Structure 1
Amino acid sequence: MYVEISGLRDNDAPTLVLSAGLGGSGQFWLPQLAVLQKQFRVVQYDQRGTGRSQDTLPETYHLTDMAAELANALAEHDITHFDIMGHALGGLIGMQLALDYPQRVNRIVVINGWLSLHAHTRRCFQVRQDLLRHVGVEAFVRAQPLFLYPADWMAEHAERIEAEDALNLAHFQGTDNLLRRLQALMKADFRPLAASLHHPVLAICSQDDLLVPWHCSVALQAALPDASLLTLPRGGHAMSVTEADHFNNLLLNWLSDTATPRFSQAG
């Protein structure tokens, strides 16, 4: 699996792992890199079957597989204790990692995530699946920004959106891989497990997210033993891109103010 490490080079430096959403590419985090690299050893990676981690995924692919793959890849780089920040699917991977490898994970940031799949989000995913299966890859790719960005931001960044469409089409992860990853995402349900996740968690959401209703983060925060909630009034599903400066400030403040749990330093 492709892993890229930047920022502080000291092996004892605090490490922050960045896990993207359904697109799977570590390049999603470009708006955060400059500020994070000053304070952390930053780990980006392309999830299995996406980007520079090309592979054919099994039909029985599961969220626990995604967590195990990341844990193994980090161990290969001698990274055994880390914070993790994930966007949507990436946030769920972070929570699964904390459940399966509790001594390795310090703190978790979940951006526009959820405890269990909301009916509205399910409908959005079903529409995207229908586009992919019955219309084609290009239609799927061109529809993707509608679920990520606010309409006014898209209008102001039309050339950027067109460039992203071309890039995503050229590097599309493949229909089978995407559908298997999407099914794994849709099946994830943390309701029976939430009380066992004692790591500090920041749930951060945007109130104008078209894909994941913002109150999903409210429910997530309420179900976890040690969670905080930050809500942005706008920014869409990808508010770490559209409201990068505001998002980065909120993130750094939480990381500065939140202590690393003692149990993460054992094992």
Structure 2
Amino acid sequence: MSRHLTSLPASRELTALSADGARIHVEAYGPEDAPAVVLAHGWTCSTAFWAEQIRALAADHRVIAYDQRGHGKSPAAGPGGYSTTALADDLEAVLAATLGPGERAVLAGHSMGGMTIMAAAGRPGFRQHAAAVLLCSTGPSRLTAEATVVPLRPGGLRSRLTKAVLGAKAPLGPVNALSKRILKYATMGPGSAPERVDACARIVHACPRGARYGWSQVLAGLDLGAGLRELRLPVAVLVGTADRLTPPVHSRAMAEALPHCTGLVELAGMGHMTPVEAPEAVTAQIRELTLTYLGVKSEERENEEAEA
């Protein structure tokens, strides 16, 4: 069952060449002439993390998903290749490789994918192609200070321990009952179904150790407040109330700071892995953005309107 959750339909694969020569693996689904959605996954994940959104949206959207450098099928970063500049470069390269001149898309970023969008907000390529954004389970700064993975009071000790835990170089080892219990505590809501925990564990454990460590160091010192304020387009924000990695304090602050926030959705009892934990809710947010800003109606919505 968990493998079905992360199985993907047939795709058209291509490579985007980033500014420093890094090769970014890209997958496209759905009709080539359909309105576009671009999906950016988070730290230690891959395109498979978006499997349920891809399956749901590809019927009437062109869905573009890519592996962040060092994740999935994208090669590891070279020297100096771990930075928010690299994240922005890679997203800009994906947009240039997949969208025509002036073609716009709805962008959805989960966790580090949302941070990627913030890092790219001022780029010409981003502004040319982005119609609207979903920031999903993410934050712009103070990640180790606000995370509640370590059950201590807020303060310097908790921040240091959080950085040490998330930045550990040790291999994660095999997926087993203990590793799934740890991952569920750190990243998912207490009511998460076993098959969804297993699906997330298999994705996270597949992330190479070097990429996991390299990006953890970038995230520990993250400061994208300026990029957040550069998002001068419609932005929806979504978070789980039980998110320990990017708690709701981040999403509430982002909703206040964004020039054009279309709404803040807090999913009761959900953790950090919202696209897998609450796939219908995340897909619904993306669909709402495409309907509003790209004029795309789902088949279900068209049928409802026809019956009315």
TM-score range, shorter chain: 0.7 to 0.9
**Alignment TM-score, normalising by the size of structure 2:** 0.72
Q: CA deviation at 1:86?
A: 0.6
Identify which of 221, 240, 253 aligns with 2:255.
221
Mapped pair 1:208 → 2:242: yes
> Which shifted more, 244-253 or 218-227?
244-253
Question: Residue type of the partner of 1:17?
Answer: V
1:165-184 paired onto structure 2 within 5 Å: 165=201, 168-169=204-205, 171-174=206-209, 176-184=210-218
For residue 77 of structure 1, what is the aligned residue in structure 2? 98
**Structure 1 residue 100: deviation in Å?**
1.6
- The residue matched to 2:217 in structure 1 has which SS? helix
Aligned-partner SS, 2:133: strand
- Cα gap change, 1:112/1:243 in structure 2, threshold over 3 Å: closer, same or farther? same
Residue 244 of structure 1: aligned partner? 279
Aligned-residue offset at 1:99: 1.6
Q: Which residue of structure 1 aligns with residue 153 of structure 2? A: none
Is the counterpart of residue 114 in structure 1 residue 152 in structure 2? Answer: no
1:152 aligns with 2:196: no
Q: Which of 21, 28, 31 is residue 49 of structure 2 equivalent to?
A: 28
Change (3 A) 1:167 1:247: closer
Identity over aligned pairs, percent: 25
Which of 71, 84, 92 lines up with 1:63 in the alignment? 84
Q: Which runs of 5+ in 1 are unaligned?
A: 261-267
Unaligned runs of 5+ in 2: 1-23, 148-158, 296-308
Rate the CA distance shift 1:163–1:212 in 2: closer, same or farther, 3 A: closer
Counterpart amino acid of residue 108 in structure 1: V
Partner of residue 303, structure 2 = none
* Alpha carbons 2:48, 2:203 under 8 Å: kept: no
> Deviations for 1:53-72, whole angstroms, at most 9, x for unmatched residues?
12243246211211212222
**CA deviation string 1:153-184 (max 9, x = no partner):** 2xx41x66456545644x3322x322221222
Deviates more, 1:243-252 or 1:101-110: 243-252
Range with greater deviation from structure 2 (33-42 or 54-63)? 54-63
Q: Which of the two has greater helix per residue?
A: 1
Provide the residue aligned with 1:128 in structure 2: 166
State the number of aligned residues.
Answer: 250
Residues 149 and 235 in structure 1, CA contact (< 8 A), matched pair in contact too: yes
The 3 A distance-change label for structure 1 pair 76 and 54 is same
- Pick from 128, 138, 143 the counterpart of residue 103 of structure 1: 128
CA distance in 1, matches of 2:236, 2:196: 30
Partner residue in 2 for 1:2: 25
